[in-house]
Structure 1
Amino acid sequence: MRPIVRHAVSSLVLSSLLLMPPVAAAGTPKLPGSSAVKSYRQLQWEDLIPKGWSPQKRLREMNPGMINDSDSAAKKAMRDAWDSAPTVKALNGQTVRLPGYVVPLEEANGELSEFLLVPYFGACIHSPPPPANQIVHVLAAKPVKGLRAMDVVWASGTLHTQRQDSYMGVSGYRLSVDAVEPYVPFRQ
């Protein structure tokens, strides 16, 4: 396997291994400033990937024997494939809860109004962005205080299948967030 193919496959394997740990129970967090409880469908990152879609498919379509680390056309083809990764249309408009790592986008006075939610530590910051269907653009009507890059949180709200380009990566989903809470893994 040539170096660029090996790097792309290694990035994919690394991202798969670093996904958030599975969480067994769905929760119903309270909305900030409200006594009402809203029911959220708890998602895991693999739920955001359409059945049958494989990021490795693009690699198999290329001629791996002809690709090397300096092949900018191959790098661009892979990035384009990941940036256009398909979403699960049935999730559009669903009220969901998803764990992930915070990648700040819009911050003012220690408050975030926009951030990306990603499945593994370092995504978009210390490593190339994952496929678009593994990046959620989070919009907060009321800015969230106290979040830093790579904090692990639960984000709850209404999910939309909407592609958005940012300086940190292309997201395939947008979440209009109701609540952002520290991540606490399920314990029996």
Structure 2
Amino acid sequence: MVTLPPNRRSLLVGLAALACAPRGALADDVIDLKWRDLVPETEIPIPPSVQGLFEHDETDTLTSEQPRSSGVRTDWNGQVVSLPGFIVPIDFSGSGVTAFILVPYVGACVHVPPPPANQLVFVTTSKPYESSGMFEAVTVVGMFGTASTSTQLADISYALSADSIEPFPT
């Protein structure tokens, strides 16, 4: 389990604001986001150095530092979105995950350098999600917004208060 630093309070305040925003979106109101939608148009979504999959013995040649991001997009603040990705668990309640980092590819934040902060989403859910394990592929639907936070694994630029978390169809 990863412990969040003191600035977690500001993240939770931001998530609380998202949770208080009006809900009740119809299925037609859900915006389907892709990872490239989260970065400014002039930035490469995932740096070329981490776009592929790496064997464990190859990662020692890579830098372990998180690449800098040039900014965030606020286009979807307060909107209900759907975003697929992979789970990196942060907090648990019972046998379910209540907070996790949603990452765009397997291994992000653990086996290879983390993606830029604008390619990571901190997800919270009031109903624990029974995850099948690290890097489970899921689709998360919920209220989205910019909310900067840091964990021991990476800096994160976005937050999503999940209404639903479903395994990604295979």
User: Any idea what SS the aligned residue of 2:75 has?
Assistant: helix
The 2-side partners of 1:169 and 1:129 are apart by 6
Aligned to 2:137: 152
Q: CA deviation at 1:56?
A: 9.7
Aligned to 1:41: 31
Higher relative contact order (CA 8 A, sep 6+): 2
The 1-side partners of 2:123 and 2:46 are apart by 27
Alignment of 1:27-106 (within 5 A): 38=27, 39-54=29-44, 79=66, 82=68, 84-106=69-91
The 1-side partners of 2:45 and 2:76 are apart by 20
User: Any idea what SS the aligned residue of 1:52 has?
Assistant: coil
Aligned to 1:165: 150
Which of the two has greater helix per residue?
A: 1
**Higher Rg of the two aligned structures:** 1
- Alpha carbons of 1:164 and 1:184: their partners in 2 closer, same or farther (altered >3 Å)? same
Aligned to 1:128: 113
Give the counterpart letter for 1:141 in structure 2: S
The 2-side partners of 1:37 and 1:170 are apart by 32
Give the counterpart letter for 1:97 in structure 2: S
Aligned to 1:63: none
Gap runs ≥5 in structure 1 = 1-35, 58-74
Per the normalisation by structure 2, the TM-score is: 0.68
Aligned to 1:12: none
The structure 1 segments of at least 4 consecutive aligned residues displaced by more than 6 Å after TM superposition are: none
Aligned to 2:101: 116
Greater mean alpha carbon deviation, residues 44-53 or residues 171-180:
44-53
| CA contact 1:111–1:147 (8 Å) conserved in 2 | no
The 2-side partners of 1:143 and 1:166 are apart by 20
- Which of 100, 111, 124 is 1:139 aligned to? 124
- Alpha carbons of 1:157 and 1:182: their partners in 2 closer, same or farther (altered >3 Å)? same
Deviation digits for residues 106-155 of structure 1 (CA, Å, limit 9, x no counterpart): 02322111000000010001111100010000010221123421000000
The 2-side partners of 1:137 and 1:55 are apart by 17
Greater mean alpha carbon deviation, residues 152-161 or residues 37-46:
37-46
The 2-side partners of 1:173 and 1:117 are apart by 10
Identity over aligned pairs, percent? 35
Per the normalisation by structure 1, the TM-score is: 0.62
Give the counterpart letter for 1:46 in structure 2: R
Aligned to 2:51: none
Gap runs ≥5 in structure 2 = 1-24, 48-62
The 1-side partners of 2:46 and 2:146 are apart by 22
The 2-side partners of 1:56 and 1:182 are apart by 23
| CA contact 1:85–1:172 (8 Å) conserved in 2 | no
Aligned to 1:30: none
Give the counterpart letter for 1:107 in structure 2: F
User: Any idea what SS the aligned residue of 1:89 has?
Assistant: coil
